[in-house]
């Protein structure tokens, strides 16, 4: 009798654990799917902001290829084409901030001018280092139209370091990291322009930018 009751309790406990496990697995997979969907949505949103509509008649999201950047990291390059010609590209760039790596999207036209820069992910301090987000300030819009020669190379720094870019009040490390990331991103384009602008560009090994 006692043995049967113990067995009964064991079965109830087992069923309970199984049920709980299934609920956890389902909610975990929903959360993972949600996060992936949000990340994709953010990326598409940023892409449309750094590749203006008037320079392409293709869909840059599906016209993409991968390549290695100057740190040998694989990045996705989205291509804008109009009437069969490549008019610009957008790709991920990385900078070091106060709290770690910052991931951004850089759009560049065929002449190497910045079409736009947007932050994709960062861990900078809210209210202090997050002014590179376009919803917090217009600071990041000031890169638009610039190139490696404009401003001169020694001015691709924050003002505190003798350059032309404003730092944020009480926060120099974040903007310094962003300026550096954009400059390096433009160098990557300059060093690999032929391949990046090639309409047939595919997974060709890239030259290093210096
Ligand atoms: C809690 C805390 C959070 C901070 N977060 C940031 C940040 O996100 N970005 C940043 O540039 N500086 C941040 N700072 C300030 C930096 O430590 C540093 O003082 C500032 O960037 C000036 O840098 P500089 O001395 O190179 O000019 C933070 C400081 C503290 C105490």
DSSP string, 69-124: -TTS-EEEEEEEEETTEEEEEEEEEEEE-SSSEEEEEEEEETTS-EEEEEEEE--P
| Residue 203: per-residue pLDDT | 43
Q: In what order do the strands lie in the sheet with 85-96?
A: 64-68, 74-82, 85-96, 101-109, 114-121
pLDDT in tens, 160-210: 999 999 999 999 999 999 999 999 999 999 999 998 998 776 644 444 444
Structure tokens at 57: 């008649």
> CA 144 from chain center: how many Å?
17
**Residue range 94-107: average pLDDT?**
97
Between the alpha carbon of residue 205 and those of residues 65, 67, 92, 183, the distances in Å are: 12, 7, 17, 21
Average pLDDT, the chain: 88
Closest C-alpha residue for ligand 1 atom 30:
125
| Residue 3: per-residue pLDDT | 66
Distance 102 CA to ligand 1 centre (A): 15
Closest C-alpha residue for ligand 1 atom 9:
129
Q: Is the pLDDT of residue 33 over 80?
A: no
Point out the ligand 1 atom lying closest to the alpha carbon of residue 172: 21
**Residue range 6-24: average pLDDT?**
76
174 Cβ inside 6 Å of ligand 1? yes
* Ligand 1 pocket: which of 102, 129, 133, 137 to mutate (most atoms within 8 A of CB): 129
**Residue range 72-95: average pLDDT?**
95
Q: Is the pLDDT of residue 136 over 50?
A: yes
Q: Is the pLDDT of residue 57 over 60?
A: yes
171 Cβ inside 6 Å of ligand 1? yes
Local confidence band at 34 (pLDDT 50, 70, 90 cut-offs): confident
Distance 90 CA to ligand 1 centre (A): 29
129 Cβ inside 6 Å of ligand 1? yes
159 Cβ inside 6 Å of ligand 1? no
Closest C-alpha residue for ligand 1 atom 28:
171
Local confidence band at 43 (pLDDT 50, 70, 90 cut-offs): confident
Nearest to 82 by CA among 53, 105, 108, 47: 53
Q: Is the pLDDT of residue 25 over 70?
A: yes
**Residue range 50-64: average pLDDT?**
92
* Ligand 1 pocket: which of 128, 168, 169 to mutate (most atoms within 8 A of CB): 128
Distance 141 CA to ligand 1 centre (A): 22
Percent of the chain predicted with pLDDT > 70? 90
The residue written with tokens 């000031």 in the block is 142
> CA 155 from chain center: how many Å?
24
Point out the ligand 1 atom lying closest to the alpha carbon of residue 130: 8
**Residue range 7-16: average pLDDT?**
77
Distance 181 CA to ligand 1 centre (A): 18
Nearest to 139 by CA among 175, 172, 110, 105: 175
């Amino acid at each position: 009798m006692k043995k049967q009751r113990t067995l009964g309790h064991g079965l109830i406990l087992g069923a309970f654990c199984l049920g709980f496990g299934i609920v956890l697995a389902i909610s975990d997979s929903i959360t993972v799917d949600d996060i992936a969907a949000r990340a994709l949505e953010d990326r598409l949103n940023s892409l449309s902001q750094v590749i203006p509509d008037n320079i392409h008649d293709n869909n840059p999201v599906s016209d993409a290829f991968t390549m290695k950047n100057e740190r040998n990291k694989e990045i996705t390059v989205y291509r804008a084409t109009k009437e069969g010609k490549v008019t610009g590209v957008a790709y991920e760039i990385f900078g070091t901030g106060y709290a770690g790596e910052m991931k951004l999207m850089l759009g560049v036209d065929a002449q190497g001018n910045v079409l736009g820069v947007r932050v994709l992910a960062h861990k900078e301090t809210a209210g202090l280092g997050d002014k590179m987000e376009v919803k917090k300030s217009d600071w990041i819009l000031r890169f638009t139209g610039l190139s490696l020669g404009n401003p001169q190379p020694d001015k691709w720094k924050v003002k505190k370091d003798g350059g032309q870019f404003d730092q944020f009040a009480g926060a120099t490390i974040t903007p310094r990291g962003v300026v550096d990331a954009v400059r390096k991103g433009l160098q990557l384009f300059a060093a690999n322009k032929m391949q990046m602008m090639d309409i047939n560009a595919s997974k060709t090994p890239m030259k290093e930018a210096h």
